[in-house]
Amino acid sequence: METAATPAANGLTFRDATDADVDTLVALIESAYRGDDSRAGWTTEADILQGQRTDPEGVLEVIKSPDSRLLTVEQEGQVVACCQLEHRGDHAYFGMFAVSPALQGAGLGKVIITEAERRARETWGATEMHMTVISVRNDLIAWYERRGYRRTGRMTPFPYGDERFGIPQRDDLQFELLVKELA
């Protein structure tokens, strides 16, 4: 996978995260999903989960894994988004997707997911992209469906009791696998 920064036509720069990015990325991910700051954007999970979304150890683990990349997106020198890409045989896993709440709704997510798919296809020869989404996140699932992802109905349990993933505010949380074929 490309490690040098790759400028895009829309003023975004894509690069692999480094150890020096950990604190910035943790703050970005937390701001996109948890707490009052996350309510500025539409991807908030604040009503279904409290506590943390990730921690420095989790982010560093993704950065250090040989089969994984944490794609970092900058605009005008500022980190504004990120996503995890993990090579898993014939498919890639897409996760840890976060866009700064102040920039959500402006089309940035579409550009990032398209670039992530391109990199997974060109770098690893991935024929599918997989992701898991909390099944009650209907607005988010609908957004992914508009990008070509399909619901599979395959569910995995939410890790209740493991506060590294947050403190659930409901008892019906589970993850659904979404899949997209990469042309």
Q: Is residue 37 one of the residues assigned to a domain?
A: yes
Are the C-beta atoms of residues 156 and 132 closer than 8 Å to each other? yes
- Domain span at residue 120 reads 6-129
Question: DSSP labels for 55-119?
Answer: -HHHHHHHHH-TTEEEEEEEETTEEEEEEEEEEETTEEEEEEEEE-GGGTTSSHHHHHHHHHHHH
Q: What tokens appear for 156 in the block? A: 């995995």
Q: Exposed e or buried b for every residue in 54-63, given b needs 16+ CB within 10 A?
A: bbeebbbebb
pLDDT at 6: 61
The whole-model pTM stands at 0.89
- CA separation for the pair 16, 84 (Å, rounded): 10
Are the C-beta atoms of residues 60 and 9 closer than 8 Å to each other? no
Q: What tokens appear for 83 in the block? A: 């996503």
Are the C-beta atoms of residues 90 and 126 closer than 8 Å to each other? yes
Q: Is residue 14 one of the residues assigned to a domain?
A: yes
52, pLDDT greater than 80: no
Q: Is residue 134 one of the residues assigned to a domain?
A: no
Q: Is residue 60 one of the residues assigned to a domain?
A: yes
Count: domains in the chain? 1
Q: Is residue 96 one of the residues assigned to a domain?
A: yes
53-87 residue pLDDT tens: 788 999 999 999 999 999 999 999 999 999 999 99
Average pLDDT over the chain, rounded to an integer: 90
Q: Is residue 152 one of the residues assigned to a domain?
A: no
159, pLDDT greater than 70: yes
Q: Is residue 178 one of the residues assigned to a domain?
A: no
Q: How far is CA 78 from the centre of its chain?
A: 18
Question: For position 95, which CATH number holds?
Answer: 3.40.630.30
- CA separation for the pair 41, 62 (Å, rounded): 25
Are the C-beta atoms of residues 26 and 59 closer than 8 Å to each other? yes
* DSSP type of residue 148: T
Compute the chain's Rg from CA coordinates.
15
pLDDT at 108: 94
Q: Is residue 169 one of the residues assigned to a domain?
A: no
Q: What tokens appear for 103 in the block? A: 């920039």
